[in-house]
Amino acid sequence: MEADDPAPRGGAPPRIRRLEESVVNRIAAGEVIQRPSSAVKELVENSIDAGASTVSVTVKDGGLKLIQVSDDGHGIRCEDLPILCERHTTSKLSAYEDLQTIKSMGFRGEALASMTYVGHVTVTTITEGQLHGYRDGVMENDPKPCAAVKGTQVMVENLFYNMVARRKTLQNSNDDYPKIVDFISRFAVHHINVNLSCRKHGANRADVHSGTTSSRLDAIRNVYGASVVRDLMEIQVSDENAVDEIFKMDGFISNANYVAKKTTMILFINDRLVDCTSLKRATEFVYSAILPQASKPFIYMSINLPPEHVDVNIHPTKKEVSLLNQERIIEKIKDAIEEKLMNCNNTRIFQTQALNSSALTQANTRKDKGTEVSTPTGEKSQKIPVSQMVRTDPRDPSGRLHTYWQGQTSNLEKKSDLVAVRNIVRSRRNPKDASDLSSRHELVTEINSNLHPGLFDIVKNCTYVGVADEVFALIQHNTLLYLVNVVNVSKELMYQQALCRFGNFNAIQLSEPAPLLELLTMALKDDESMSDVNEKEKLEIAEVNTEILKENAEMINEYFSIHIDQGGNLTRLPVVLDQYTPDMDHLPEFMLTLGNDIAWDVEKECFRTAAAAIGNFYALHPPILPNPSGKGIRLYKKNKDSMESAGQADNDLTSTEEDDIDQELLAEAEAAWAQREWTIQHVLFPSMRLFLKPPKSMATDGTFVQIASLDKLYKIFERC
């Protein structure tokens, strides 16, 4: 019997031998690098530890043939390359005590070593100040000088080439690539200052592409889509007063309107992406009492604890951590989520089947004070008092003002409500990288910091009622009615969109180039403040502004997609809001503002004033032609000189003959005002719900004015 054979029953025990180092290394590598997604996770975490602002991942055949991770971090010293891929070599701790306060994501020095045992690894790196980089693919010979860009590129080829069983279980690349995309997506949500991308080898378009942003919601929107962001609520929990524990949690959770088949839980503890089964079960238990059985929540949480309260060294892949007083932390978070969901339950939206026209007519003729809804089983639901009934479907036209205006319905109303859906889809597209300018980020940060939470909730969950007059529209939020200044709201929305789409505009191509000199001359003639200036001086001012715009043409084209050719002609304008074109009657005034009011020498003020000018130009100002509805039709009489006093004109209004009206001008005015109303309902308000972050000033400057409370009005009419 050989020494390695197991001992027979009752015989001598087998000999214990020390395993060869190569066997030990491959066993350890199988624990750390369990699958290609594990390798990607380790490499991306190393890149972020290196202070990278851009990390790109390229994968071939699910990571089995190729994993390439490139970053622009601080790089690796040339003298450190020979031991880079040895086991337990790291720059992130030097003594065991350092593990108690570890803040980096990596610390064991096993990831790269494990990859070299189960794959072919090549590292190319350059540090700041070096003339050239170094490449090492063997980790035993001297590194070879080579051309390189800032940072480090790690390439892992033929992963698990020497582990036949493991490789066979991972042959289907469709299994692991989604895991890689999911991991990159989660990091993109948390690390909003890092530009992360992931694509398949040879693909022209990345499956994940997150630009740097100052808003967590924008990051979630870029990765998971605007439909997810629409149903998210911010949540914060802290326990700073406890003697034995200090922790903070902030994040976003979905409300009762969110519908998904699978729970999405993104959990970061001290900036480390981890799993916590206990916390996930606790939150799912809370949601199970509110959501339908088949629906699951979306949760993003970032928990910060003192490093000494977190044990990060309990799992080979570092996917789990151990927390001090974990049960207490989970309980406080669960209670906070439950309270948040209970407070938002009054704005829940239920999907219902659309009624046909005959059923809608019958429903409108009912005069019951309350409504009892019968279920398919014949049971009656709880009776809802009329005073507390609110609109829940913004697409339902039965509650809008124009349904009560006979003869005022436009053909534009027949257009599909898919415009709002198109806006959501387009908001998820990101064909270009966002411009990474600090001044622009500061302006976006100002918008976020100046947000009015109450108005934001109203804007996000309001229902459009109708146009009240030339300036105001009527909306409903819960049982409250508000007048909204359309001009002010659209101006602020366009300003914010100009900064958010900075450098990423689509373009409106003008049918014919518009000469700047003529536009500026027209604007100066219409400017009342220039009435005392003679024509020659106006022409000189126009020429000076033309030269200013031509000198800065390259910048405004790059940042705002306003294209001015060498001949001084305007050829393109930006698309600030999808499905919307500004009123070109205000174009001369817009070009005068660009030439005369922009602070070209100061970057931040330049971006602010340019975005403000764009916001004012694209705002939904009333058309130049007066509103022909009601008494306004008298303004379209052919012979206005024959009109008597205003009172006499009002008395004769009902007897106005069609022959006395300029029908062509009247038709143009009606089309302009109908188009404006359609744009307000189908473009402005859906976009406002998605993108507008109302500033605090709108609460006091008359932009939003509460005019009625429906439950109180009901009490008044009930007494009549």
Residue 12's alpha-carbon distances to 15, 16, 19, 305, in angstroms, are: 9, 12, 21, 53
Question: pLDDT tens-digit profile of 675-698?
Answer: 888 888 888 888 888 889 999 999
From residue 705, alpha-carbon distances to 448, 473, 485, 492, 686 in Å are: 22, 11, 9, 17, 20
pLDDT digits (tens, 9 = 90+) for 42-58: 899 888 888 899 999 99
pLDDT value for 413: 42
Q: For the residues of 411-475, what is the DSSP string, one character each?
A: GGGGS-THHHHHHHHHHT---SPPP--HHHHHHHHHHHHTB-HHHHHHHHH-EEEEE-SSSEEEE
The full set of domains in the chain, from first to last, is 21-210 (3.30.565.10), 225-344 (3.30.230.10), 438-625+690-706 (no CATH)
Element (H, E) at 495: helix 486-500
Cα 485 from Cα 692, distance rounded (Å): 14
Kindly state the tokens that stand for 392: 């829940």
The pLDDT tens digits of the residues spanning 697-708 come to 998 888 898 888
The helix or strand, by DSSP H or E, that contains position 329, with its residue range, turns out to be helix 326-344
Maximum pairwise Cα distance, the chain = 127
655 or 341, which is more confident: 341
- Residue 378's region, left for phi above 0, alpha for psi from -120 to 50, else beta, is left
330 pLDDT band, cuts 50/70/90, is confident
The crossing angle, in degrees rounded to 10, of helices 173-190 and 36-49 is: 20
Q: What is the DSSP string of 134-153?
A: EEESSSSSPPEEE---SEEE
* Per-residue tokens: 303: 């928990």
List C-alpha distances in Å: 459 to 92, 224, 234, 455.
47, 22, 16, 6
Per-residue confidence (pLDDT) for residue 713, from 0 to 100: 65
d(CA 252, CA 299): 6
Summarised one tens digit per residue, pLDDT across range 246-268 is 788 999 999 888 888 888 999 99
Residue among 158, 159, 156, 93 at smallest CA distance from 124: 156
Length of the chain in terms of residues written: 720
Percent of the chain with pLDDT over 90: 11
Number of other CB atoms surrounding residue 269 within 10 Å: 23
**pLDDT grade for 521, boundaries at 50, 70 and 90:** confident
Tokens at 646, concatenated: 């205003």
Chain mean pLDDT for the chain? 77
How many Å apart are CA 548 and CA 600, to the nearest integer?
9
Residues 573/566, Cβ–Cβ less than 8 Å: no
Average confidence (pLDDT) over 75-80: 82
How far is residue 357 from each of residues 140, 360, 403, 681, measured CA to CA in Å? 79, 5, 13, 21
Give CA–CA dist 542/595, Å, rounded. Answer: 9
The pLDDT tens digits of the residues spanning 159-190 come to 888 888 788 777 765 678 888 999 899 999 99
Calpha distance 50→71 (Å, rounded): 9
Mean pLDDT of the region 376-396 = 51
Q: Give the pLDDT mean for 551-577.
A: 87
3-state secondary structure of 90: coil
Contact indicator for 496, 514 with CB cutoff of 8 Å: no
The structure tokens 């005069």 sit at 367
- What are the beta bridge partners of residue 570? 514, 564
Interval 346-379: pLDDT, tens:
555 544 444 444 443 444 444 444 444 444 444 4
Section 512-517 average pLDDT: 87
Which DSSP helix (H) or strand (E) runs through 679? helix 663-679
Query: Over the range 490-528, which residues count as b (16 or more CB within 10 Å of their CB) and which as e?
Result: bbbbbbbbbbbbbbbbeebeeeeebebeebbbbbbeeee
Going by C-alpha positions, the residue among 294, 240, 232 that lies closest to residue 266 is: 232
Kindly report whether the global pTM for this prediction surpasses the value 0.85. Answer: no
49 CA to centre of own chain: 26
Q: What is the pLDDT of residue 639?
A: 59
